Structure 1
């Protein structure tokens, strides 16, 4: 890449020229000069760039003058979009910037660009970087008001802190962005952003934000340019090699740890932009195991299955295309696929998605009104999901969803329609209707008390939302029949009809107020089963305050009647939550709840105390410590202990650079039960420990190298100490080849 340096005259012209404020439409210029992405604004091409001031503070201030100066530079060369930010700071020593893995620097200073590349105010791509060049990228689904950080593009960035602030440069390949084929110039919505965390977390932009308008992308100004640009060949081939060696035991009381030998697998993933509108992903013998450990959750006194988010890249890309009001698609149900195929796209007002996988394991959840069971079958199934949405009007749409899983003696098919109607800037309605057909293997159906043979069920959901600057409210209705199953999704409760109504008020602080926002809201809900029995009735009131040191405090008071085991219990509880950042790089928080709680194992009412502290501490620029825990005690009304449980999740990360880190994760669960007050026989104490040491190097999201070690230990009444049940060494190499 050719690199040029500005002459003295060029620098004078660049620094003295007036910054161009963005009108309703700004022109994106093209340059013939090269740009070296190094965090320095010294390349000749930046003289060709349009300059845009980020002169508005939109949070916590409401469209007031930005308190620091930020200038963005934009230019393109037919292959890349180049973006730079000159972020001035009156005290550069106060800049918060740490070396981190991608998509994890949200508490730092950072800048970025949001691109509504179709100009339809529905979906956007977001690119951010902190002052050291750490990348964060997302998709923004404005219809569902959801930002998804799981999307990872391949782009370049660099940042440098200097004596007057910091500079960030970005080079974004146009083939990483979907945009329509048009004659002449493209017209994109654009938002240029700077986040400035000090006493408060300030947000600066080139766009004003009307808080009475319940959409984001509809308020962006436009950028025009890229005439005649085509994205070119969009093919990405990623061969992978994984190797592991495991030693396991299923019964540590009777069997010692046994080596399972070594396992080496090769696979390949292909991403092909068939057209500018459609992308196809194919994975053959993929490594769909996730490298990062899930966040530890306390599995005690729970009625329903715990939810763990998806982390595997193949399923994360384009996940928002499959989003519907009900969680009818949850890709972690695909456990061990031998092959996967996915296609996603958008053409005009039409959005579509499809994926299919051959899975070696069939994971099942058996939902009910009062709890759920689960089972994992060592048998293959074919999983298919199809999604289509037609947009109309301003951010309105109608859509269809079909899912299917079929195996030996087993099937689950789901199909239905959904819609979103944006009535006005403040009012919108969402709804969905689904129908399912299910059949389990006869032995499985008998064991888990499921219907024999094929059976059908239905589900419906209706949501109304009102949002304005000062008021918000909602109405919800859902009906999930007893025989409804969504085995490709995550719906652990059925045989329930629920109605919810809520209303809230927001007060916004002014410049001299000690608070930035106060919210008071409450909701009422009631649920019945298909026979009309009341399952739950609850009233909840919340008061929250945001203030100095980026603090947020909330108090919640609730009262509910809950039916369990044919007894209606009355519960009252109070919860407190608080978090703040006493200084840069340190975030502390705690959630405390106390009140009545049903003991589901023994069908009685008890007294519960729950503490959930967390700490995020950037010890220095390279070292990050994260700790979160969940302490839970439940006593009888007579004061006898039922159980005392705790789970800890500790992670220490040394970040060598923006590309590589070493992380140690330790998770520990300890449950002490009082067998004298249990109906069934239980262990007086059980302990579980999981540890992982991981080294990661990422040239980009697909060109990666991982090597690590993990083990698991357990202890209960049959053991006299923590005993290892699993020990694994693993390695993965992936290389992104773009022919």
Structure 2
């Protein structure tokens, strides 16, 4: 009842704020204004500005440095020209440099050129401070694009649009020419003239990365999209047909074999065709459909160590069908994580925005049912080998620039299994410094009979669960969380407040997740808890100093089970520095108390069934660029930890150095290595190493060769394990060699080879057990 009343009060306040101040907090003429002329002439995007139409374009100068300098005069001159046709926006940037030989530019794959000299465009096509398209281009014309979502405070570069750019170095610096087809955007074409939020940007990386802009940015305002300028024009703008059909053809041959003992290779050849449809029904409504899609991962996920970890690992979404207009589904909580739809035969997505209303719908099947089984001390992935149907629907109402209210419904269903979820969320910004967010969700779930058996390691674990001491039986938290009769339901809610000013901030958050709450289409890996967090910090901006920004902050949090049993209490202090050599340094100390494993794993209770451990942990993260071609990175922590396998105190050391070396303008080596040890009273329990090597040779703007290799080595001392008898040595190695040609993000040709090796106590050395040859061809027809 308290939650319902809170939502009612915030909703009324939000509507009233819209009546009082309908136009506050969005892009405004006072920030910056640009009148874009419409000239019905198309041009060739070649990096030169020799067409006469550029003489009629609007021109603007990027006069301000917004970071690290605070709205000071830009150190270099940058000019932009803009005009529109009925179907495209055109931009030309002229970036002067007093020392052109210091320009940082490389041939890279899309979205990989960060750190280079580049110019960019930010556009909010509804000028409502909710979403903005971002386009950045380096001096060779390499593209990076992303979506900035003010509702969640996140930026995602996973979105890839089809647009055109060329860049070239000049004696005075560099210049870039850009065409943005209007089919890229959602916008309301019912207006005779458009008014969009806009910012033009240049990144000028030298000792520090200078951010230059068309207008000033107020650090005393927490909202970023609220500070855009405006662009008016685009008379008679239209998307045209906005129909894209992308057929694809995929072929692969997989070879696998058993290796303990070594058996013969088993071959499997697969040839499939599919098609994707992207149709802009109107400028504000987009339909995506896919039949027999190829959802293979062309780029391997980054290596992760899954050791002394009781919760499931998170992997980001990379597949184009799910990423297009993904932001329309986003809420403050991760209730839709589409990697839970592993291998669909078909998919359909409809997204639309009209005035203050935003709607999104997604439907897809999956050849199996995969989802997360959460807990308060552990979580794991579950699989039901039956086809599932998956649906998500999102609606959001924005009655004012300060207030949003929305709802999300998800469904995941198979034979004898279902998970239904309904959620409502609000965001309210009564001032430029204050932000309230709240979200409530309710779920209803049913598991198949004997579903829990897949977590106990036996064919049947329905025997008597009494006196099941740690390590003595196969019962664990996942068994207890899934041993359900019939339907069960529960709720979760989250309330947060944040106050941000130029030099200080405070925030607080309260979250409650019921023990039977499930979000099987999302990524909620913890349930049966309540958590309260309070934190804040202070920020300095030194002048004429190596460090241009210093932040000192911290927070305190406490977590209980739904039965009010304490799970964790933590205090953290940290300090951050940003400055010369494009450096970022952050370090802190954590003091906490938290519980380990359950002593009797057949009982869900915490009190008198766990041990509370005290920990002090120090951490450090830094990255910097000592020279233009080398970026160094280090992530490390050391101190107290818990040996979860044996439920006892331990000490941990983790070092994760990395280097990005731009060997030439087109050849880049990315190397990282993670070294982690865990020591207990009687010695070293394990030593784990993970090496991730990626070599990318960008042959042209459109083609590349990439080699990646991920190697894991874990050495354990079995004598120190009380309840298990693990291998003394485990190793695995995965390799991939790929050639790719990208005409655009959807018109691609890939051919490659991947393999996998493994070794353990039964296999003396790394032995190949899997190899795959694959090819993909797709072409986007723009109609």
User: Which position in structure 1 is the counterpart of 2:117?
Assistant: 109
**1:32 and 1:45 in contact (8 A); partners too:** no
Give the whole-Å Cα distance in 2 for the aligned partners of 1:342 and 1:201.
Answer: 39
Q: Deviations over 1:701-722 (max 9, x none)?
A: 1100011100111101111111
Q: Tell me, yes or no, if structure 1 residue 49 matches structure 2 residue 93.
A: no
**2:85 and 2:237 in contact (8 A); partners too:** no
**2:31 and 2:227 in contact (8 A); partners too:** no
Shift of 1:599: 0.5
Shift of 1:125: 1.2
Shift of 1:632: 0.5
Shift of 1:362: 1.2
Q: Deviations over 1:677-727 (max 9, x none)?
A: 002110001001000001111000110001110011110111111111210
* Matches for 1:362-401 after TM superposition, within 5 Å: 362-401=369-408
Match of 2:677 among 608, 633, 642: 633
User: Which position in structure 2 is the counterpart of 1:497?
Assistant: 530
**1:544 and 1:553 in contact (8 A); partners too:** yes
User: Which position in structure 1 is the counterpart of 2:629?
Assistant: 585
User: Which position in structure 2 is the counterpart of 1:14?
Assistant: none
- Corresponding pairs, count: 716
Give the whole-Å Cα distance in 1 for the aligned partners of 2:680 and 2:82.
Answer: 65
* Matches for 1:222-371 after TM superposition, within 5 Å: 222-249=230-257, 251-371=258-378
Give the whole-Å Cα distance in 1 for the aligned partners of 2:115 and 2:315.
Answer: 23
Matched residue of 2:773: which SS? Answer: strand
Q: Deviations over 1:233-284 (max 9, x none)?
A: 01000000000000113x4203525232311000000001111111010000
Q: Deviations over 1:306-339 (max 9, x none)?
A: 0010111111111111111111100000011000
Q: Tell me, yes or no, if structure 1 residue 643 matches structure 2 residue 686.
A: yes
Give the whole-Å Cα distance in 2 for the aligned partners of 1:267 and 1:457.
Answer: 40
Q: Deviations over 1:606-647 (max 9, x none)?
A: 010000111111111110000112110000134x01000011
Shift of 1:146: 1.8
Give the whole-Å Cα distance in 2 for the aligned partners of 1:407 and 1:131.
Answer: 51
User: Which position in structure 2 is the counterpart of 1:710?
Assistant: 754
**1:143 and 1:395 in contact (8 A); partners too:** no
Match of 1:544 among 576, 580, 585: 576
Shift of 1:392: 2.4
* Matches for 1:70-469 after TM superposition, within 5 Å: 70-249=78-257, 251-448=258-455, 449=479, 450=482, 451-469=484-502
Give ranges in structure 2 of 5+ residues lacking alignment.
Answer: 1-28, 456-478, 599-609
Q: Tell me, yes or no, if structure 1 residue 670 matches structure 2 residue 713.
A: yes
Instruction: Say if 1:23 and 1:415 are closer, same or farther in 2 by CA, change over 3 A.
Output: closer
Give the whole-Å Cα distance in 2 for the aligned partners of 1:628 and 1:408.
Answer: 44
Give the whole-Å Cα distance in 2 for the aligned partners of 1:431 and 1:419.
Answer: 5
Matched residue of 2:751: which SS? Answer: strand
Match of 1:612 among 651, 656, 659: 656
**2:151 and 2:331 in contact (8 A); partners too:** no
Q: TM-score, normalising length from structure 1?
A: 0.95
Give the whole-Å Cα distance in 2 for the aligned partners of 1:281 and 1:536.
Answer: 44
**1:505 and 1:521 in contact (8 A); partners too:** yes
User: Which position in structure 2 is the counterpart of 1:17?
Assistant: none
* Matches for 1:474-489 after TM superposition, within 5 Å: 474-489=507-522
**2:38 and 2:235 in contact (8 A); partners too:** no
* Matches for 1:692-711 after TM superposition, within 5 Å: 692-711=736-755
Give the whole-Å Cα distance in 1 for the aligned partners of 2:638 and 2:30.
Answer: 52
Give the whole-Å Cα distance in 2 for the aligned partners of 1:359 and 1:722.
Answer: 34
User: Which position in structure 1 is the counterpart of 2:563?
Assistant: 531
Give the whole-Å Cα distance in 2 for the aligned partners of 1:457 and 1:177.
Answer: 39
Q: CA RMSD in A?
A: 1.3
Give the whole-Å Cα distance in 1 for the aligned partners of 2:39 and 2:395.
Answer: 39
**2:166 and 2:176 in contact (8 A); partners too:** yes
- Residues 620-629 or 236-245, more deviating: 620-629
- Residues 391-400 or 696-705, more deviating: 391-400
**1:366 and 1:492 in contact (8 A); partners too:** yes
**2:441 and 2:493 in contact (8 A); partners too:** yes
Give the whole-Å Cα distance in 1 for the aligned partners of 2:34 and 2:202.
Answer: 19
